[in-house]
Structure 1
Amino acid sequence: MAEIRTIAPARHGWQGEIDIPGDKSISHRSVMFAGLGNTPVHIRNFLHAEDCLSTVGVMRALGVDVKFLNENELIVTGNGLHGLTEPLTVLDAGNSGTTLRLMMGLLAPQPFLSVFCGDSSLTRRPMGRVLRPLSEMGAQIYGRSGNNNLPLTIVPTEAKLRGIHYKSPVASAQVKSAILLAGLYADAPTTVTEPYVSRDHTEQMLAGFGVHLERSGTSVTLYPVEKGGYRAPDEITVPGDISSAAFFLVAGSIIADSRLLLKNVGINPTRTGILDVLTEMGAHITLQNERMSGGERVADIAVEAAHLHGVSFGAEIMPRLIDEIPVLAVAALFAKGDTVITGAGELRVKETDRLRAIAAEFQKLAPGSIEEREDGLVIHGNAKIERAQVSSWGDHRMAMSLAVLGAAAEGVLLENSDSVNISYPTFFSELDRLS
């Protein structure tokens, strides 16, 4: 029987400071990219969560030395850009789409065989969107269901991969990053053009390793690395994850008398759609102590309770807030009027079908408040919200969103709450502290 966690209604406004855990996207990349250098890299504020530990496990299996100094601090020492070694076992990506898709790009040019597996959720997620451009570059990758699903086998190629210009039908940082990582080893420059600019942590970090990249509009070009051209920095400090901060940005906005300060949050412009939408809804959010850290913009974010109103947003902003849709849907329930979300079809191929999950679970708490559309949702605000038992669908972002919804309303009985370990293992202890 599924474990059930009881989330009580907030007895008072949430007050105080919260140290936001390290950014998941940047934690993944810090270990991968450091593992391609040949000098030790000291990584601070690493997100010690299941997804990022999947990347650590894969890099260790490829011959990279990873030593943890404590849970959030580690030293990664690779054997150079061409120093990865053939794994002795199947590589397990766990639940992590980032691990799998980026490593497909990194391993496609390598002179050895590698095989990937993952958990039941990852096994259902589509890999064809990465496999197609890599195949166009000359990679040989074979999988189940017409090469679309795990398990996947990457076979070494005799010739170098080809540099290509790929026009991606989706704005996806994972697709773009896989192509660019393969391009490190290609015979010519590699260009990716997207319909909208997706998050750019790969480009920012690779530039810090000495890789030559150029951006023009929605296109980015990477030039193959010449001998000695890949230089690892001594240190990487991972900023706090705005996707984790999002739950407290919404809670601080909808729980009466709340006033929170979220510390050291990454505010990379390709990730701050959540700030734009909440501000448009009438949220009281201010950025303090803005600064740069390792090529990434960072700030402390203050939020306090506000009266929100419904808004409409769609495809153009979606790459900048795709992971925040579940918790934005929570904000919409407490807003005056309707919120209309379009262009969010990508949510159907996340850890679960998030559009269906949001509609099904919110309906239990606020009957009649939500309409599921093919590529989005219509949420009727000022909803009457009841206490109910709901499921996270094994999805970490659903679990945290439902917990915030319960705390802001009449409480909730939450099934499968342990899924938060994927990205925010200390989430519920923060809720207990604030309550």
Structure 2
Amino acid sequence: MPHVCIPRTIRASGPLRGGIAVPGDKSISHRALILSALAVGQSRITGLLEGEDVLATAAALRAMGVTIDRIGPGSWTVHGVGVGGLLQPERALDMGNSGTSTRLLMGLVATHPITATFVGDASLSRRPMARVAEPLGRMGADIAASPGTTLPLMVRGLCPAVPIAYTLPVASAQVKSAILLAGLNTPGITRVVEPIPTRDHSERMLAGFGAEVTVEETPQGRVISLTGEAELRPQDIVVPGDPSSAAFWLVAASIVPGSDLLVRGVGMNPTRTGLLTALRLMGADITESDARIVGGEPVADLRVRHAPLRAIAVPADLAPSMIDEYPALFVAAAFADGRTVARGAHELRVKESDRIAAMAAALGANGVAVQEHEDGLTVAGSGGAAIPGGGTVATRLDHRIAMSMAVAALHARAPVSLDDVAPVATSYPDFFSTLEAATAQERSA
């Protein structure tokens, strides 16, 4: 189906007020579907993110013989086929815009006796898959890809595969998870060494499903060991709110004068809270309440009130725990007092778009002085004043570019035009209706 652009113009709003809930965590939603598919019996998932990326994972699993049913908003059942039980798909698996779906499912297919072809949209088809293909090839999978190791791409699995010990050359939770998923149907012990820790949802959920998985801190880094030929037990899973989606509201309420917003049920996994740390270093007024455990993950409500932000040198070691939130951070920097320097985020070059170049262009088009680096940006802030705005943003098929610049527009002197907001549906279908509700609180007061 051809992509249909949906342009949208965003005008400055009054304060953001009231309370909102964010959609289910995207990373956890993907993994909940995949591990439920490999359990024997019925699992139930509540709070599942029903964005296009997660639905692509569900569709691919159905194509490989898994029964997945939606029984209500965010509520799904999965009848798993067991580790090793996936069937040969009859046609190519369409991943849409989802790099997470692609990389995790490549790992899954790599050690099943099936062959699957992965295809995606124009944005996904430009994204490199070599970092996943290389370790899966070591395990015995035969991977044939387009030039540059991009999609379309075919994976011919090997069963039984060969367990490996693999040190991640770059911090990537997706590569780690792909190897661990491949290890589930591999005899012996598969090990992944992380010199720099990344989000640990896979390890937590694998243990919850009954896999034999250990995590050890060593001088070389975090070592995750998984015993293969696992038997997974079905689970009831509650997906917490996505901190990557909450990021837009934390920044929006911080920069729009008079804002006082409660964001309910946000996942507080310490491998995902880098943006929260960075915003607090900048002086953001964000408080936590009702801390609790949901589905094995820490969760809290976050109250964020407008506060003057100051420029910082963003600690590079925060990058793995906020890699998806950098576009929102760049927006916060545009309203800070001084020049914010954010480096050490090379990974942004190979996301849904080149997010460094995309955000440099988007902010620059709206009157923000930006210096682009190979691994990040330096952003000259407005000191809390409204930015000029008035520009047109090329969102580049990237949901986070679209949502970040929609937030920037909330405190701009002239409206900001987004050339295409259709990609927002991949991760946050209700983003714009939530935005209207949060700003309507003030209009109706």
The question of a shared fold, defined as TM-score above 0.5 by the shorter chain, is answered with yes
CA offsets, 1:78-100, max 9 Å, x none?
12112211111111111100100
Whole-angstrom CA distance in 1 between matches of 2:24 and 2:436: 20
- 1:425 and 2:392 are equivalent in the alignment: no
Q: How does 1:18-417 map to 2 (within 5 A)?
A: 18-145=20-147, 148-157=149-158, 160-217=160-217, 218-226=221-229, 229-233=231-235, 235-367=236-368, 369-382=369-382, 384-410=387-413, 411-417=415-421
Shift of 1:429: 0.6
Assess if the C-alpha contact under 8 Å between 1:185 and 1:224 holds in 2. no
Q: 1:20 corresponds to which letter in structure 2?
A: V
Distance 2:174 2:316 in 1: 17
SS at match of 1:385: strand
Contact 2:184 2:229 in 1 (8 A): no
Extract unaligned runs of 5+ from structure 1. Answer: none
Equivalent position SS for 2:81: coil
The question of whether the paired residues in 2 share the 8 Å contact of 1:341 and 1:377 is answered with yes
Which range moves more in the overlay, 239-248 or 216-225? 216-225
After superposition, the Cα gap between the structure-2 partners of 1:315 and 1:138, relative to the gap in structure 1 and judged at 3 Å, is farther
Q: Describe the superposition over 1:273-312 as per-residue Cα deviations: whole angstroms up to 9, x where unpaired.
A: 0110000000011111001111111111111000100111
Q: What CA distance in whole angstroms lies between the structure 1 residues aligned with 2:16 and 2:224?
A: 45
Task: Give me the identity figure in percent.
Answer: 46
Shift of residue 155 of structure 1? 1.6
Whole-angstrom CA distance in 1 between matches of 2:164 and 2:135: 9
Structure 2 SS opposite 1:330: helix
Q: 2:10 aligns with which of 7, 28, 33?
A: 7
Distance in 2 of aligned mates of 1:62 and 1:314 = 43
Q: Is the partner of 1:215 in helix, strand or coil?
A: strand
Paired residue type of 1:413 = S
**Cα deviation code 1:126-152 (max 9, x no counterpart):** 000001111112221111116x11111
Deviation at 1:198, TM superposition (A): 0.6
Contact residue 43 and residue 75 of structure 1 kept, 8 A:
yes
Q: Normalised by the size of structure 2, how large is the TM-score?
A: 0.94
Give the distance between the partners of 2:130 and 2:395, measured in 1 at CA.
27
- Report how far residue 109 of structure 1 moved: 0.5
d(CA) in 2 for partners of 1:299, 1:289:
6
CA contact (8 A) 1:314 1:344 kept: no
Q: Quote the Cα distance in structure 2 between the aligned partners of 1:60 and 1:75.
A: 12
Alpha-carbon shift at residue 336 of structure 1 (Å): 0.5
CA distance in 2, matches of 1:433, 1:230: 42
Give the SS at the match of 1:17.
strand
Q: What is the count of residue pairs matched by the alignment?
A: 429
User: 1:312-361: CA deviations, max 9, x gaps?
Assistant: 12431101001100111010011001110111111110001110000111
Query: C-alpha distance in 2, partners of 1:3/1:204?
Result: 38
Name the CA distance, whole Å, in 1 between partners of 2:178 and 2:157. 16
Structure 2: gaps (5+ residues): 440-445
Question: After alignment, is 208-217 or 283-292 more displaced?
Answer: 208-217
Seen in structure 2, the aligned counterparts of structure 1 residues 207 and 81 have a Cα distance that, compared at 3 Å, is same
Change in CA separation of 1:193 and 1:225 when aligned onto 2, cut-off 3 Å: closer
Distance 1:300 1:162 in 2: 44
Contact in 1 for aligned 2:192/2:224 (Cα 8 Å): yes
Paired residue secondary structure (2:78) = strand
Q: Structure 1 residue 253: deviation in Å?
A: 0.5
- Partners of 2:238 and 2:27 lie apart in 1 by 13
CA contact (8 A) 1:213 1:220 kept: no
User: Take 2:350 and 2:315, find their aligned partners in 1: how far apart are those partners?
Assistant: 17
Q: Cα distance 1:192–1:73, how it changes in 2: closer, same or farther (>3 A)?
A: same
Deviation at 1:387, TM superposition (A): 2.1
Deviation at 1:120, TM superposition (A): 1.1
Q: Distance in 2 between matches of 1:27 and 1:91?
A: 18
Q: Which amino acid aligns with 2:134?
A: R
Report what 2:442 is aligned to.
none
Q: What code does the residue aligned with 1:288 have?
A: S
Q: Whole-Å Cα distance in 1 between the matches of residues 237 and 196 of structure 2? A: 28
Deviation readout 1:29-62 (Å, 9 max, x if unpaired): 1111101112111110111110000001000001
By how many angstroms is 1:224 displaced? 2.5
CA RMSD of aligned residues (A): 1.4
Q: Which string of whole-angstrom CA distances, capped at 9 and with x for unpartnered residues, describes residues 356-383 of structure 1? A: 000111101015x101011110001117
Q: For 1:317 and 1:360, locate their aligned partners in 2 and report how far apart those are by CA, in whole Å.
A: 24
State the one-letter code of the partner of 1:144: S
SS in 2 for 1:152: strand
Residues 2 and 85 from structure 1, CA distance in 2 versus in 1: closer, same or farther, beyond 3 angstroms? closer
Moved over 4 A (4+): none
1:282–1:309 Cα contact (<8 Å) kept: yes
1:61-118 per-position Cα deviation (integer Å, ceiling 9, x unaligned): 0100011012311111112112211111111111100100001111101012211111
- The CA deviation string for residues 11-30 of structure 1, in whole angstroms up to 9 with x for no partner, is x2111000111000011111
